[in-house]
Each structure stands twice: as structure tokens, then as C-alpha cells.
Amino acid sequence: MPKINRYVDIDTVEREAKKDYIDRHSPFVHCAETATKGEKFPVTVKMGNEYSHPDDFDHYIAYIQLWNGETLLGQATFTPGTLGNQKEHAEVTFNIVPTGNKLKLTAMAYCTKHGLWESDPVEVEVK
């Protein structure tokens, strides 16, 4: 099993380099707090909140996944240079159709140099 890295509150981290490292590798889930059962629901996953990630041929975000609990909902795969070989926030919007009463959304992302990173879960009420 690979090591899974997790975001920590960067306000509690003292060194700027450590804040940069943690933030730029962490996926963040952005969506509404409620969804309608059977209707398309957009969920955006963005890499980094304050700091952007490199897009070099040997150091880039290879993929971003969206999970509902233990169910994989979607995956976006990137190749080096997708973001013009510049530091940028890799971002993808998944359009899902909820069928249950709630969603527990988690994003996973893989950096080719620093491994697998997991977001905090986001709970969505489905009406």
C-alpha cells in the first residue's frame, strides 16, 4: 500500500517552504452543499489553494480522482506540459449524478515526485 499524504492546516506550519509543499500537493474539493437526486451535479477538484504546482516533465500532477466513499466516480489524467510547463493549479470539474441520500466526496491526486495525496472529505446532502 502506498503512503497517502494528507493536507494539514498550513497556518500551523512555521516554515514557508513546508506550507508551499503541503498546499501545492493537496487536492481541494469545491461544490455546493446540497445536490438534487438524479440531476447533474458539478464537483471541481483543484490542486493547491494558495500555491501552484510545477508542470515539468519530471514533476507534475499525473492524475486527479474523485471518490464517493469507496466508489471511484471519475479520474482525469494529465501529461507533462498540459499546463504549458508553468507552475499552475491543475483543476478538473466532474459532473456526477447523485442517486443516494448523501455524498462523501474525497479527491486523490498523484504527483510524480511526491506521491499520492488525499483531500479532506466533503459531505453533500442529496434531496
The ranges assigned to domains in the chain are 4-126
Check pLDDT > 90 for residue 84.
no
Q: What pLDDT is attached to residue 81?
A: 83
Check pLDDT > 90 for residue 20.
no
User: Which residue in this structure is represented by grid cell 516533465?
Assistant: 57
User: For residues 84 and 108, what is the distance between their CA atoms, to the nearest angstrom?
Assistant: 23
pLDDT digits (tens, 9 = 90+) for 99-116: 889 999 999 999 999 999
In the β-sheet with 27-30, what is the strand arrangement from edge to edge?
27-30, 41-47, 91-96
Between 12 and 45, residue with greater pLDDT: 45
Q: Which fold has domain 4-126?
A: Immunoglobulin-like (2.60.40)
Check pLDDT > 70 for residue 13.
no
Between 20 and 15, residue with greater pLDDT: 20
Model confidence band, residue 31 (pLDDT cutoffs 50, 70, 90): very high
* CB within 8 Å of 39: residues ≥ 6 apart: 97, 98
Q: What is the pTM of this model?
A: 0.84
Q: What pLDDT is attached to residue 16?
A: 66
Q: What pLDDT is attached to residue 15?
A: 65
Dihedrals φ, ψ of 17, to 5°? -60, -40
Which is it for strands 122-126 and 34-35: parallel, antiparallel or unpaired?
Answer: parallel
